[in-house]
Structure 1
């Protein structure tokens, strides 16, 4: 997976090494390992200090905590894409009798189910999953803290329920389904439910002394689907490529794009302004850059996966300490360093191979009332509609093959765009979700709802 590091400039490699060295030293982590992905492959790997006496590399396993949730979300979306379930289905339809069945699959994925953040005592991360043999033990007597669907509230039990959903519909354990349907197709052979050598040990570092305490490494039992996995920077680099591009053996590019789309605003007090949660992915704006991915932690371990799709750069950072370095900041910084030092080189412009004349005549300037818009045809077969100046609603549209287009993003996502023609075949106007766009502002020759004042445009006097 790892390609020669000469693919990055020496100054970029040194900046990356400096950043993780500062993080490891100031965060007082026994070890810290990182990787950077660009152009669909790992292009840099760095590590500080040692694991079991030798420098960690891209094959040393660390526990990745809640990054596990992203893997679980992939399994659930596979079921949706196969038509086995709908995201709007209440859990009760597929896994009856949990006491939390009114929450929908989508709400569980986006942490808007209203469920508690944690399982009832004892502290589930530091005790054996055998203490919670039933879903009732995971949820407790009062599983809901908030009204279903009303607010974002991060929930580990919610992803436990999603793991149970996968097991019920697949008829196999969550770990087995994950191995068969995701890990093996993507070549993630160093990602596993239980640790496999070589792997790091988990440590707590004393806050007031440079000494360490070994942390227990528990099997989480039913809560495995919320945080059980062990992985490496090499495997997570491959997973980052998948979350950027998709892989039809697992999920299409369209579905992973859906995962990266905000489904719920996050709590400002927890993660700051400009943050949201998709379907199994955290989303945030940082330094003007849209980042997606997930963080993770369990006693003894910290983990972070950060992706900038626009820059085609991703970073993985893993550490074996309970607290210390802020890996979400480190990951964002690694992405920024590469994106700013070696900006993505755009693909060459190429003309369209062929164009439908009836579509070409739609290109150019249009008006929604008095707002000016430009409609452009692009070589990728899409149509874009955006304001001629300033901000405003904009979107790309995908052709449906019947003379209509469907919006892909923003206000017009899912909305239908079509050209309305006169009996002689000429274009009267564009209809976009009932909004009328004309060639001139309130074109008197077009069918403008409400009509056009017959006195026309005039001044005051």
Structure 2
């Protein structure tokens, strides 16, 4: 094993800063079993506040993940349903049939930006104008047709949350996400410690400072500023909330599971990434994903992701890369490279196996080999839960996990893995032994049989 992983991390960061010609680059790795690792390279452009761990960068569209969390909080609090049309909650002059779920997954067909050439004028609409001008904004694609990224959609979601909570979006995101998670360096506006953002000339080493604008009513799409340390923590929260928010103060872990499930791919022919409910999901190989978001604003690029799945994964692994160049795409690549390096060079410690209590008596007769649809299955009890796997399946495929329904021990719900959501029903003989099961209504038996109930070993084909 690599004895000094930070040396490799540092080299990767310094190479990215030099190759990408990023005036200031700040990087952080967060994991629950180590102290944070933070590195800054370059010059902040702010003489009063030299570059360091406390330097703030604009994080752009990473802000959308905060807005998405606020929307799911409102859903969990019973204030909305994800399939509600926005007109149920907001007075809008057009496009009121767009659903909350479609806006979260960028499949509502909204044009990319709010009405007007805001990147020419650098004047953003205020809260009221975002909604009042919806009749001037196009629905560039039919609802649900395909992925089309829209800042306007998230601006509307921010106004929705504000309306439901009776506060401004800025107040809600501060009170319900930033403060509870202790993200003290994450702010709505640039503080004194802010880096200067630049456009770096393609054909020389010159760079021009970019203007910064308040996004007003479009703020829920891209307003926030932060540090690499805060954003690495945020990436860890999105991937493994139990390590950052163990009591679910901000959002239940099950809700984040829902947000991470891909609702659409971003390109119909290149399935390189997907979009969940406000989150980008990037596959990294078998059963490994990076979840989070990228950001871009004049003079800045940013990326914050957490890693899920795979052998050696440390708990709560998140990474953020923030830079003061609006054109440095290397930032969006470096975050994924560092997450991979963290697992390769410094994997999680291997916990020793220990003897545990046996399966509850009412489930012991289930353990072992069964068949369903002629396919062999293995039912086992591990980690305090009943599990099932294909007998000949790859070892790294997650098992199906079951939980009994309240007060009904012989009816269990599949809570993850194969057939998630379906019921497993147990049938017992007079002694209480489980002799047959039905999983997703398919018969499960100890011996291999056909759909007519006859044993496969008996043959019966008449030539």
Q: Same fold (TM over 0.5)?
A: yes
1:303 correspondence with 2:306: no
SS in 1 for 2:254: helix
Q: Contact (CA 8 Å) 2:228, 2:322: kept in 1 or not?
A: yes
| Pair 352,114 (structure 1): closer, same or farther in 2 beyond 3 Å | farther
1:387 correspondence with 2:390: yes
| Pair 143,413 (structure 1): closer, same or farther in 2 beyond 3 Å | farther
Q: Which runs of 5+ in 1 are unaligned?
A: 1-7, 443-447
SS in 1 for 2:179: helix
Q: Give the structure 1 partner of residue 10 of structure 2.
A: 17
SS in 2 for 1:114: coil
| Pair 73,454 (structure 1): closer, same or farther in 2 beyond 3 Å | closer
Q: Give the structure 1 partner of residue 379 of structure 2.
A: 375
Q: TM-score, normalised by structure 2?
A: 0.89
Q: Contact (CA 8 Å) 2:94, 2:135: kept in 1 or not?
A: no
Q: Give the structure 2 partner of residue 128 of structure 1.
A: 123
Please list, as runs of the form range in 1=range in 2, the aligned pairs for 1:231-250 lying within 5 A after superposition.
Answer: 231-243=226-238, 244-246=240-242, 247=245, 248-250=248-250
Q: Contact (CA 8 Å) 2:273, 2:283: kept in 1 or not?
A: yes
Q: Contact (CA 8 Å) 2:92, 2:134: kept in 1 or not?
A: no
Please list, as runs of the form range in 1=range in 2, the aligned pairs for 1:303-342 lying within 5 A after superposition.
Answer: 303-310=302-309, 311-312=313-314, 313-342=317-346
**Mean alpha-carbon deviation: is it higher for 393-402 or for 35-44?**
393-402
2:440 to 417, 428, 433: 433
**Mean alpha-carbon deviation: is it higher for 69-78 or for 302-311?**
302-311
SS in 2 for 1:412: coil
| Pair 325,107 (structure 1): closer, same or farther in 2 beyond 3 Å | closer
SS in 2 for 1:39: coil
CA distance in 1, matches of 2:398, 2:190: 49
Shift of 1:65: 0.5
CA distance in 2, matches of 1:146, 1:42: 46
Shift of 1:251: 0.7
CA distance in 2, matches of 1:453, 1:130: 70
Instruction: Report Cα offsets for 1:104-128 as digits up to 9, x if no partner.
Output: 2111111111212223331348612
Q: Give the structure 1 partner of residue 348 of structure 2.
A: 344
CA distance in 2, matches of 1:268, 1:295: 20
Shift of 1:302: 0.3
**Mean alpha-carbon deviation: is it higher for 260-269 or for 293-302?**
260-269
Q: Contact (CA 8 Å) 1:47, 1:57: kept in 2 or not?
A: yes
1:193 correspondence with 2:217: no
1:398 to 399, 403, 409: 403
Moved over 6 A (4+): none
CA distance in 1, matches of 2:110, 2:184: 33
CA distance in 1, matches of 2:271, 2:211: 35
1:414 to 413, 421, 445: 421
Q: Contact (CA 8 Å) 1:42, 1:237: kept in 2 or not?
A: no
Shift of 1:298: 0.6
Shift of 1:63: 0.3
Instruction: Report Cα offsets for 1:34-69 as digits up to 9, x if no partner.
Output: 001122665311111121246522221100001000
| Pair 198,16 (structure 1): closer, same or farther in 2 beyond 3 Å | same
SS in 2 for 1:186: coil
| Pair 103,251 (structure 1): closer, same or farther in 2 beyond 3 Å | same
**Mean alpha-carbon deviation: is it higher for 100-109 or for 218-227?**
100-109
SS in 2 for 1:361: helix
Instruction: Report Cα offsets for 1:74-109 as digits up to 9, x if no partner.
Output: 111111111111112121111132412212211111
1:456 correspondence with 2:458: yes
**Mean alpha-carbon deviation: is it higher for 84-93 or for 163-172?**
84-93
Q: Give the structure 1 partner of residue 97 of structure 2.
A: 102
| Pair 125,350 (structure 1): closer, same or farther in 2 beyond 3 Å | farther
Shift of 1:335: 0.8
**Mean alpha-carbon deviation: is it higher for 207-216 or for 53-62?**
53-62
SS in 2 for 1:113: coil
Instruction: Report Cα offsets for 1:269-297 as digits up to 9, x if no partner.
Output: 7xx42311111110011355421111110
1:280 to 278, 281, 302: 278
CA distance in 2, matches of 1:135, 1:407: 43
CA distance in 2, matches of 1:393, 1:37: 25
Q: Which runs of 5+ in 2 are unaligned?
A: none
Q: Give the structure 2 partner of residue 361 of structure 1.
A: 365
| Pair 357,259 (structure 1): closer, same or farther in 2 beyond 3 Å | same
Shift of 1:369: 2.4
CA distance in 2, matches of 1:121, 1:175: 23
**Mean alpha-carbon deviation: is it higher for 50-59 or for 72-81?**
50-59
CA distance in 2, matches of 1:13, 1:26: 20
RMSD: 2.5
Q: Contact (CA 8 Å) 1:215, 1:300: kept in 2 or not?
A: yes
Q: Contact (CA 8 Å) 2:427, 2:436: kept in 1 or not?
A: yes
Shift of 1:300: 0.6
